[in-house]
Amino acid sequence: MNLSALPRPIEILLVEDNPGDVRLTIEVFKEARMQNNLHVAMDGVEALAFLRREGKYAQAPRPDLILLDLNLPKKDGREVLAEIKNDESLKRIPVVALTTSRSEEDILKTYNLHVNCYIIKPVDFEQFMGVIKGIEGFWLTIVKLPDSRT
């Protein structure tokens, strides 16, 4: 049996500083259809360390999908986005901005930095679940992700 042909769990990096939101996301992803590993970085610096496999993240897997909150301490989410999209080895990873900001300016700026899509975090929990399920349904099921094992 070719082990590499077995469906492996999807690796997702969640970059989010609000512990409440982190836990919620984790709980919802638990109910996902596809097997997934949700990794969490609580600020921008940690996120980039994870992506570059620095320090304690030396053995970190390359994520298939990044969920990025824009408002982060230390390094702002927009900066992280810019660095990801400018990094040869990271720029192919789809980044989904998942944030509370509704400002038109933010949306524009973020798309200008080549975010793959921008989602406004719904206030209502049921809707939030719907959004996470939607992300899963679209990005992890319908969409063909590039092979990240490089």
Partner 1 sequence: MKEKGMRKEKSTPLSSPLEGSEAFQITQLRRELETTGEHLQSVIKEREVANKKLSAANEELQNINREFKRAKEDLQSANERLASANEKLRNRNSELTQIFNTAADGMRVIDKDFIVLRINKTLLNMAGLTSTEEVVGKKCYEAFPGSLCHTPNCPLTRILNGEERVETDVEKKPKDGRTIPCIVTATPFMGSGGELIGIVEDFKDISERKKAEKDLAQRAQELAQQAEDLDRSNRDLQQFAYVASHDLQEPLRMVASYVQLLARRYKGKLDADADDFIAYAVDGASRMQTMINDLLSYSRVGTHGREFEPTDCNAVFDLATANLQAAIIESEAVITHDDPLPTVMADGSQLVQLFQNLIGNAIKFRSQERPVIHISAELMENVRENVRENARESTWMFSVRDNGISIDPEYAERIFIIFQRLHSKAEYPGTGIGLAICKRIVERHGGRIWVKSVESVESVESVESKQRKGAIFYFTIPKSAP
Q: Which residues bind partner 1 (CB under 8 A)?
A: 18, 20-21, 24, 27, 100, 123-126, 128
The CA-to-CA distance between both ends of the chain, in Å, stands at: 22
At closest approach, how far in Å is the CB of 125 from partner 1? 4
Q: For residues 25 and 41, what is the distance between their CA atoms, to the nearest angstrom? A: 13
Name which of 57 and 128 has its Cβ closer to partner 1. Answer: 128
At closest approach, how far in Å is the CB of 98 from partner 1? 13
Name which of 17 and 79 has its Cβ closer to partner 1. Answer: 17
CB-based contact 85:116 (threshold 8 Å): no
CB-based contact 23:125 (threshold 8 Å): no
Please give the structure tokens belonging to residue 3.
């082990």
Name which of 125 and 138 has its Cβ closer to partner 1. Answer: 125
At closest approach, how far in Å is the CB of 58 from partner 1? 34
At closest approach, how far in Å is the CB of 40 from partner 1? 17
Identify the residue whose tokens are 């900066």.
79
Name which of 113 and 121 has its Cβ closer to partner 1. Answer: 121
At closest approach, how far in Å is the CB of 31 from partner 1? 9
Q: For residues 68 and 54, what is the distance between their CA atoms, to the nearest angstrom? A: 19
Please give the structure tokens belonging to residue 40.
């969490």
- Spatial CA neighbour of 95 closest among 75, 110, 74, 76: 110
Name which of 7 and 20 has its Cβ closer to partner 1. Answer: 20
